[in-house]
Structure 1
Amino acid sequence: MISVVSTAESAPTGTGTPEPSLYRRIRRLFTRDLLVSLALGQVLSLLICAIGLSSKFLAEDFHANTPVFQSFLNYILLFLVYTTTLAVRQGEGNLLAILKQRWWKYMILGLVDIEANYLVLTAYQYTTLSSVQLLDCFVIPVVLLLSWFFLLVRYKAVHFVGAGLCLLGISCMVGADVLLGRQQGLGEQKLFGDLLVLGGATLYGISNVCEEFIVKNLSRVEFLGMMGLFGSFFSGIQLAIMEHKELLKVPWDWQIGLLYVGFSAFMFGLYSFMPVVMKRTSAASVNLSLLTADLYSLFCGLFLFHYKFSGLYLLSFFVIILGLVLYSSSSTYVAQDPRVYKQFRNSRPAGDPSPLSPAILEPSVTYTSLSPESGDELPVQVA
């Protein structure tokens, strides 16, 4: 049985009188850790914005509809950098040792990641841009639910309020798109496109939660190396079957080559940097941060594609940022269950040379926060 007891009291000020609770909470709301985490999330959003813009130029200006090939290039880069790093390692972190222990789990995860990218990119051909932007947010409740049941993350009311504000902000942006007539897609097949987005968002949620578990309990390089290995293999097969004819239609020149190089570099940066941010925060926080990527794309479109401006875009941006601040301002806690840690590896106690000795993992509670509350430490009693 696990019980949590709070002993927080008002911290004294320099005058010897209790510091006002409201002032103390406002001061803690904007800590260095919180601001750094928000900034890192926006770097990810800018990378996604760059990926979207390069894809748009390839598809609309050069008629190069090659989503599988674009993903394949990214997986090849991951393979060259991270899989080869695992190959030259020694000990349990070696590529062969990892494959021997859990190759089939990474194979499934690689397929999930590949098809998530493919479903969402394909959906743009059948449904409206507004529908993709709105339905893609389905990844957030998926991540929250999976984190609750499989990572044992426990949330407070402020986390749900913050997530709700982020979704409200993206709804404002979609509403502005509808009012300005910025809709694309084939109306007759809209339902099929919407289902593709929901399927892709669900797979993204599964991939993100697995990524969070791996980078926090195993290794960032291991995750990226396995994605490079299985991603390049299966996307290469999918490319040969489904997209080889499209590649022959591409009017190759230096501009198209530069766009492909740029897309691959931005995607590689996103995959390499996201585990760093996810280890610092969580899969849920990262996905909430990524909601601003569509807004950055719209702001770029004002100059590049002469989109019409709406004040709802600015309102949407500030509502999303407010939701991120609220979500990140309070700590979550993780009730660690030994069964969770047996899903990807079999550990043993530190210093035990015997591979037959199983690890003894006691149930415990771990508190995580982006804004440390020094005066509100919660002692944990495990009975």
Structure 2
Amino acid sequence: NRKRSPAGPGSARGRHILSLLKTILMGQVLSLLICGTAVSCGYLVEDKVETPMLQSFLNYALLLFTYTTLLSTSDRNILQILKTNWWKYLAMAVADVEANYAVVKAYQFTTLTSIQLLDCFVIPVLMLLSWFILKTRYRLMHFVAVAVCLLGVGAMVGADILAGRNQGSTNHVLLGDGLVLLSAVLYAISNMCQEHTVKNLSRIEFLGMMGLFGTLISGIQLHAVCSLHLVHVRSIQLHACSGEDDECYGSEPLSAHC
């Protein structure tokens, strides 16, 4: 009866279990953060605060100050990375920025439960992209788990409908649902590129480049959206108050639509 070596199969199995538990725990924390984001977006929409692009810009700005700075001080040459892979990170940043913008914008048109349900569309799209592009192969259990997940979310939405809960405005529901589906496809593209980059390069490089390009893209789009809404709001107020110059600009904050 030989004693099992600490580096034997038993030890490897223990490390595998610990890694699995860590992954599950991190997934639950991520789900909690996403839930907080969804609830916060719902409250902002109820208060008539429409800032989908500003919310994204702040996220990328934090990545810029943290990971882009860290990447600049690491052994990797950030100029060489930009020279060789700038177009790849630009494409990934466009997909990620527009996915964030679309899903936050959807809260103005459809309900929270509908968004959570349709956002799960990212899972089958991501599996399909990974199957053909990354050559990832899934077992039957993976497909069953995805089906159970989608059925569970569908049951939650059905329960809300039967209970008659009003979770937001239903105006332009089709537009809101379409924005969520578009966001899910873009998220799937971004997540697939993220997996490939993190596994083959580094996490710091990916987050640093996303912070850099994401801040640039969202900043440009934020300025464009604010400028368009500024002109639109002023033109409506001037038309509505013809003859009363003292009230031409009203009291509505012009930056509430950025």
| Cα root mean square deviation, aligned | 2.2
The question of whether the paired residues in 2 share the 8 Å contact of 1:68 and 1:118 is answered with yes
User: Among the aligned pairs, what percent are the same residue?
Assistant: 56
**What are the Cα deviations for residues 49-102 of structure 1, in whole angstroms up to 9, with x where unaligned?**
2222333333334x3211111111111111111112222233xx2210100111
Q: What is the CA–CA distance in structure 2 between the aligned matches of 1:50 and 1:207, rounded to whole Å?
A: 22
User: In the alignment, which residue of structure 2 is the partner of 1:132?
Assistant: 115
Aligned to 1:154, what secondary structure does the other structure show? coil
User: In the alignment, which residue of structure 1 is the partner of 2:20?
Assistant: 34
Distance 1:154 1:186, change over 3 A: same
Q: 1:197 aligns with which of 153, 175, 180?
A: 180
User: In the alignment, which residue of structure 1 is the partner of 2:151?
Assistant: 168
User: In the alignment, which residue of structure 2 is the partner of 1:76?
Assistant: 61
Q: What is the CA–CA distance in structure 2 between the aligned matches of 1:203 and 1:195, rounded to whole Å?
A: 12
**What are the Cα deviations for residues 311-358 of structure 1, in whole angstroms up to 9, with x where unaligned?**
xxxxxxxxxxxxxxxxxxxxxxxxxxxxxxxxxxxxxxxxxxxxxxxx
Q: 1:123 aligns with which of 96, 101, 106?
A: 106
**TM-score normalized by the length of structure 1:** 0.54
Q: 1:242 aligns with which of 206, 225, 232?
A: 225
Distance 1:84 1:198, change over 3 A: same
Q: What is the CA–CA distance in structure 1 between the aligned matches of 2:130 and 2:212, rounded to whole Å?
A: 26
What is the correspondence of 1:78-93 to structure 2 with a 5 Å cutoff? 78-90=63-75, 93=76
Q: 2:78 aligns with which of 95, 106, 114?
A: 95
What is the correspondence of 1:1-383 to structure 2 with a 5 Å cutoff? 31-61=17-47, 63-90=48-75, 93-183=76-166, 184-187=168-171, 189-243=172-226, 245=230, 248-250=254-256
The question of whether the paired residues in 1 share the 8 Å contact of 2:38 and 2:112 is answered with no
Aligned to 2:223, what secondary structure does the other structure show? helix
Q: What is the CA–CA distance in structure 2 between the aligned matches of 1:247 and 1:97, rounded to whole Å?
A: 44
1:218 Cα deviation after fit: 0.5
Q: How many residues align?
A: 219
1:249 Cα deviation after fit: 4.5
The question of whether the paired residues in 2 share the 8 Å contact of 1:129 and 1:185 is answered with no
Q: What is the CA–CA distance in structure 1 between the aligned matches of 2:112 and 2:43, rounded to whole Å?
A: 16
More helix as a share of residues: 2
1:186 Cα deviation after fit: 3.1
**TM-score normalized by the length of structure 2:** 0.78
Aligned to 2:120, what secondary structure does the other structure show? helix
**What are the Cα deviations for residues 257-297 of structure 1, in whole angstroms up to 9, with x where unaligned?**
xxxxxxxxxxxxxxxxxxxxxxxxxxxxxxxxxxxxxxxxx
More strand as a share of residues: 1
Q: Which residue type is aligned with residue 154 of structure 1? A: R
1:39 Cα deviation after fit: 1.2
Structure 1: runs of 5 or more not aligned: 1-26, 251-383
Q: Which residue type is aligned with residue 152 of structure 2? A: G
